[in-house]
Amino acid sequence: MRRIFVIAISLFVSISSVSAYSTPDKLIPEPVEFSTGEGVYTLKPDGSDVKVYMNAAAFAAKVEALPEFAKQEAYELVIGKKGVKIYALTEEGAFRGRQTLEMLRLLDPAATVQHCTIFDYPRFQHRGIMLDESRSFKGKEFVKKQIDALALLKMNVMHLHLTDAAGWRLQIDAYPNLTDHVAWRVGETYHEWEGLGYPFTNAQDPKAYGGFYTKDDIREIVAYAAERYIDIIPEIEMPGHSMEVNRAYPEIACVGEDGKPRPFSWDLCVGNEGTFKFLETVLEEVIELFPYKYIHIGGDEAVKKDWEVCVNCQKRMKEEGMIHKNELQGYMVRRIEAFLRERGKTVIGWDEIVETGLPAQAVVMSWRGTPGGIKASAEGHDVIMSPNSYVYLDYYQDLIRKEPKAVGHMQSLRHVYKYDPLEGIAPEFHHHILGLQGNLWCELIPYAAHAEYMLYPRAFAIAEIGWTPQEKREFFHFRERCLTLITIFRAMGYNTFDLFNESLRAQTGRLRFDDPTFKLL
């Protein structure tokens, strides 16, 4: 009896001590390949035990057949009794390896890691999150904190929605009204502002809510992101979601039947040459700040109502031989695309832009489910998938009655994780799918802590979808790893969703009568 007791105790000790080490099977995203050894190694806090080998012949041979983007980010991480070795072709690859090492370090309070070899590279080249800074301005410290999280998850894109009716969020020297006036609204929340009739004010008003990024703020964010191999995609919306521009500069707004400008118009006026002068000047300043390939020009949900009566829009239609008002949107997109292409930039737009004649170089961001991306890729466009049917992070993540007010139906962690960006895409067009992105619209998310609650852990799922081979992904194993990483994120000060108390329905997708959160309505 005593002997059995001793065996039982030693079994318990060995099991609990094994599970305390950090091991590669706890990583998010799950690596492409790994193997483990017998021993363990405790990482030095100062990193002096990490050696990086660039361009080693054996590693170069191993990644030879990978697509170019995957080669750039590929790494091998070897942890053994003498320390840590990282192999990569580029600094970016070495950085991804360091982030894996960082997550292994965080997974055990003593920083003790099982001996292992990890060979790893991403499935897709675009793995992003969009933050809506117009509807609720969260500022540079928040953005930098989320950049840290994205880096740890080996994501590489942050898209900032900087302009919309609810506030313009970027300093533009040529157009000071954008930040002196329409960056400040009365109404702390989007819906309060809407209920008050969309009032703007100025920064000195004690009732002012809002703010904007100065050019120095953007330089700081860009430099911070660059150190973490994350690109920032700035979005300047056109022609819809642009009421704030008309309010700041009514002289370029559409003209009504009474001959007067309409500052409350939702859309930019496509007939007024002043609109193009405005957009081109703004974009010149944007180009100076954001040293990347892509600029996002919006393009979603134009209402087009005022275009029907505006003399300038009607004149443009006649001159250009247009039959339908929708062609005005195509005219604007093509003109701005050409302007940006001449300056070495590639345009991204929401999927509406495929409807009105789009130059082949333009990239489409599919948001109205997946059909826009399926169509655009078949027509030869590169595509970023961000379907609202899977990866919209302003949607509920658990039972509606448990959660703060959100949008639409439940998109639980399980639902998000189910998504495969190649779903519905014919194999001959797979190469057009650059990757995926989760979008956090903020009409219902006025505060930073709430934004983090909606982001994590669903951003973990987006990171893994974007990185890990599809055939390796399995939800329940992923969910277990999320529970561990959530604890780490909370300790680092992120206000995550409480995955530990997620309803069974959200976990399984099925309604269960034994679910303690279930009640007949």
Residue 350 interacts with ligand ACM (CB under 6 A): yes or no: yes
Task: Establish whether 355 is a catalytic residue.
Answer: no
294 is an interface residue for ligand ACM by CB under 6 A: no
Nearer to ligand ACM, 285 or 301 (CB): 301
Answer whether 115's CB lies under 8 Å from 100's CB. Answer: no
**Catalytic member of 102, 301, 327, 420:** 301
CA distance 24 to 33: 10
Q: Are 164 and 132 in contact (CB under 8 A)?
A: yes
Write down the catalytic residue from 108, 133, 164, 231.
164
Whose Cβ is closer to Zn ion: residue 130's or residue 254's? 254
Binding partner of 269, given Zn ion, ligand ACM, none, CB within 5-8 angstroms per partner class: Zn ion
Q: Which is nearer to ligand ACM, 307 or 392 (CB)?
A: 392
In sign, the C-alpha dihedral spanning 503, 20, 152, 86 is negative
Q: Note whether 269 binds Zn ion by CB under 5 A.
A: yes
Q: Please tell me the distance from the alpha carbon of residue 18 to that of residue 36, in angstroms, as a whole number.
A: 13
Among 243, 233, 249, 338, CA closest to 293: 233
Closer by beta carbon to ligand ACM, 219 or else 305: 305
Local structure of 493: helix, strand or coil: coil
Beta-bridged to residue 392, according to DSSP, are: 439
Cβ proximity to ligand ACM, 307 vs 367, nearer residue = 367
The answer to whether 310 contacts Zn ion (rule: CB under 5 A) is: yes
194 binds ligand ACM (CB under 6 A): no
Question: What is the rounded distance in angstroms from the CA atom of residue 375 to the CA atom of residue 225?
Answer: 32
Task: In whole angstroms, give the CA distance from residue 294 to residue 158.
Answer: 12
Minimum distance from residue 165 beta carbon to Zn ion (Å): 17
Q: Coil, helix or strand for 208?
A: strand
d(CA 312, CA 273): 9
Contact positions with ligand ACM (CB under 6 A) in 56-115: none
Q: In the complex, what is the shortest distance from the CB of residue 51 to ligand ACM, in angstroms, rounded to a whole number?
A: 45
Q: Does 103 bind Zn ion (CB under 5 A)?
A: no
367 touches ligand ACM by CB under 6 A: yes
Residue (of 492, 413, 391, 455) closest to 103 by Cα position: 492
Query: Which range in 189-197, 217-225, 261-269, 426-434 contacts Zn ion by CB under 5 A?
Result: 261-269
- 164 among known catalytic residues: yes
The secondary structure of 122-160 as a DSSP string is -S-SEEEEEEETTTS--HHHHHHHHHHHHHHTT--EEEE
* 301 scored as a contact of ligand ACM (CB under 6 A): yes
> Which SS3 state, helix, strand or coil, does residue 232 take?
strand
Segment 246 to 275, residues that bind ligand ACM, using CB under 6 A: none
- 24, 234, 261, 271: which one binds Zn ion (CB under 5 A): 271
Residue type, 462: I
Encoding tokens for residue 272? 């007024």
DSSP 250: G
411 binds, among ligand ACM, Zn ion, none (CB under 5 to 8 A by kind): none
Residue 162 or 252: the one with the smaller Cβ distance to Zn ion is: 252
Concerning whether 241 is annotated as a catalytic residue, the answer is: yes
Query: Which of ligand ACM, Zn ion, none lies near 499, with the C-beta cut-off 5 to 8 A by kind?
Result: none
Our separate counts of H helices and E strands in the chain read: 18, 19
Positions that interact with ligand ACM (CB under 6 A): 300-301, 350, 367
What residues are labeled active site?
164, 241, 301
Positions that interact with Zn ion (CB under 5 A): 254, 269, 271, 310, 312-313
